[in-house]
Amino acid sequence: MISSTEVARFRNALPFWLSLLMVPLAVLAARQGGVWVFVLPLFSWGMFSILDQITGLYEENADLATTDDQLVWYRAITMIWFPIQFGTLLWLLWYVPGAEHLSTGEKLMVFFGMGVVSGTTGIVYAHELFHQTNRLERWLGDLLMCSVLYGHFRTEHLLVHHPWVGTPRDAVTARYNEGFHRFFFRVLPACWRSAFRAEKAMLARKGLPWHHRSNPFWRYWALQSTFLLLAFLVGGWVGLGLFCWQALVAVWQLEIVNYVEHYGLTRKHLGEGRYEHVLPRHSWNSSHRATNWLLINLQRHSDHHYKPMRRFPLLQTYSTDEAPQLPYGYPVMTFSAMIPPLWRRRMNPKVRAWRKQFYPEIEDWTRYKSATNPMPRNS
């Protein structure tokens, strides 16, 4: 018999399992077509944003003495997600290309919805998984990232983004005044290059060439090639095209979230290429309850960068005295980022206020521009 303590733990974790509702919605969109093809974006971006307004903020912090054994129901949703997502994707690749009741536009929209599943949930869960030391979890993270053809993200995130966030060496720290569309086309090649250089440098320190079998890029390439081949075998050329389309949608969501998370925030330069330690102030924080259910507390991003190994149920939130706060959850903020004038009007004053609050001694912020990726004018 399950103990009352275990039942309580399951009940507490249950809101984070709402992502499972995406699977029947994906099937419904494919089977029904019509207006139902919009159901996944409306569910993930729209419904949870509305729920944010209803449920408000959740600012309580979990007990940091909680052990992994006590987090089994939280960990379980991330562990089971890859086979669930993979099965859904395979079924869509088999069903949609030959579905005569779906127009070309509807097929594209169904796989846009699948990209929402892969990006909003799959990549977020992958991010949680590859931050852990458990080998199985890291492999599941790799599988999820390679299913959207972005396997190098693990290397880039762990070896580049976390050490260098808030500095010119981190491509995905969005510069003040930099619009998202410019950011997106800048980071796609820049992240791949920085990830490859990081692995090459690690191998060089061991006296090994870049093409040594221990380079994880071989695994990324092999897994991505396998997914592409499966998409072709199951869905033909149409299926292959739709698979790549969902991957692009997923990566677009990843990078727009990256854009929001650190926009305009810069670590203090200490001279000679050294920067202050990463602090909660170097990420935008959000305690909106419902979207943190959807994104397994990713919006408590200030603590994630402060303590990267901390599992998502234990991530802490911070007050305005310690970390800058987003006015809304990620879905609303990412929609705003798609319209650069709207984004700047809302966020640039917040960045300037952040500078005055945390670094009043710095008068000339132009010294923090990157020589290779300069900020736009008016910074």
Mean pLDDT of 312-324: 95
CA dihedral 150, 82, 230, 42 (to 10 degrees): -80
Q: Please report the pLDDT score of residue 175 as a whole number.
A: 94
What is d(CA 25, CA 82) in angstroms, rounded to the nearest whole number?
Answer: 17
Position 21 pLDDT exceeds 80: yes
DSSP state letter for 269: E
Residue 256 has pLDDT above 60, yes or no: yes
Q: For residues 284 and 173, is the Cβ–Cβ distance under 8 A?
A: no
28-61 pLDDT tens trace: 999 999 999 999 999 999 999 999 999 999 999 9
Tell whether the torsion through CA atoms of 132, 136, 137 and 142 is positive or negative: positive
pLDDT range class, residue 368, cuts 50, 70, 90: low
pLDDT at 281 over 50: yes
Structure confidence by residue, pLDDT tens digits, 65-77: 999 889 999 999 9
pLDDT number for residue 374? 40
- What average pLDDT does this structure show over 273-278? 90
| Mean pLDDT, residues 279-288 taken together | 96
Residue 353 has pLDDT above 50, yes or no: yes
* pLDDT tens by residue, 196-205: 999 999 999 9
| The pLDDT of residue 372 | 34
Q: Which of 11-15, 26-30, 352-356, 374-378 has the lowest mean pLDDT?
A: 374-378
DSSP of 289-313: HHHHHHTTTTT-HHHHHHSTTS-GG
